[in-house]
Amino acid sequence: MTDKPVYLIINPRSGYGGRKRQLANLRGELAKAGYDLVEYVTKYAGDATRYAREIAGQAEAVISFGGDGTVNEVANGLLGTDVPMLAAPAGTENLLAKELQIPSNPADLVKVLATGQAMRCDMGMINGRSFHSIVGVGFDAEVVRRVSAGRTGHISHLSYFWPIWRTFWEHNFPTLRVTADGRDVFQGRGLAFVGNISRYSIGLRICRDARFDDGLLDLVVFECDRQTGLILHAGWTMLRRHPLKGNCIYEEPERIHIETDQPLTCQVDGDVGPESPLEISVAEHRITLIVPQSRSRWTLPMWPWKGAPL
């Protein structure tokens, strides 16, 4: 442990509103472990990025307490620095925390902070902004847009029910043109995903083979022009067999370009993203993440970070 404080960046709007007790217990566990803690509550979109960038030179580590959007903002602020980030699962979906097997129990979370391993991991870039997990174009992006438009406070998985139901029946599948590393790989109606991790909502492994440390992105394009096709794709994806289907493209490029027949907003790490056309690539710089010692999925060499006992 160093003489620098641990910073806790909190998004008060993340998740379903039942995180106050978890946050209080986390404070208690950090104090019990002897950490000098500095808390910051975000006030607006982008505030976590600004603050993380401001305190990067002063922090032993930064804990992101929120959902995937909060993690994205904090990571954006720390990108290219040596300051490690611990993604506390405190939002609705917590894709990155689940992928990294970060526990939600405060005592276990502090144990990861104290004894975990540091990993230098990839980030993606989309139209000049970074992302850590997944970009969606088409059906799921429209669901996220509807949820965001109707959001007034905390949300849960139930908040997605009606937007998914309405989008399923009302969605007009856009025409996409997708280029990977300069090659045309798809033109037609469908939906596309670009992932840096394998996990997506409700445990679906859309980017099934994605690795956070390989310097590549995983591109998945589902050819689809009607609701029945969407159901079939979902079924094959649940079985994790979709890369073997003829009407599914699965590639691992470094650069991706996506155009649509009309400007469409995408979703980035569960939040509304930029409009098409989209330029997506692996970021020049990496992010340092703290993960449990027992984690074995990654091939990237890991080392005890400077705050952990040797």
37-88 pLDDT, tens digit each: 999 999 998 899 999 999 998 999 999 998 888 898 999 999 989 899 999 9
Residue pair 212/197 in contact (Cβ under 8 Å)? The answer is yes
In the predicted model, is pLDDT for residue 256 greater than 80?
Answer: yes
Q: What is the number of residues in the chain?
A: 310
Backbone phi, psi, residue 290, to 5°: -100, 125
Instruction: Report pLDDT for 158.
Output: 58
What is the amino acid identity at position 254? E
**Mind listing the domains of the chain with CATH numbers?**
6-122+285-304 (3.40.50.10330), 129-282 (2.60.200.40)
Identify the weakest region by mean pLDDT among 101-105, 172-176, 239-243, 251-255: 239-243
How is the chain split among helix, strand and coil, in percent rounded to 5?
30, 30, 40
* 144: three-class secondary structure by DSSP: helix
Distance CA 174, CA 233 (A): 16
189 forms beta bridges with 175
264-292 pLDDT, tens digit each: 889 888 788 899 999 999 988 889 999 99
Instruction: Report pLDDT for 6.
Output: 95
For the chain, the distance separating the N- and C-terminal CA atoms, rounded to the nearest angstrom, is 10
What pLDDT band is residue 90 in, cutting at 50, 70 and 90? confident
Of 174, 144, 180, 199, which is closest to residue 253 (Cα–Cα)? 180
Residue pair 125/285 in contact (Cβ under 8 Å)? The answer is no
Of 282, 171, 144, which is closest to residue 219 (Cα–Cα)? 282
Cα 284–273–160 angle (5° rounding)? 130
In the predicted model, is pLDDT for residue 95 greater than 80?
Answer: yes
Distance CA 294, CA 50 (A): 33
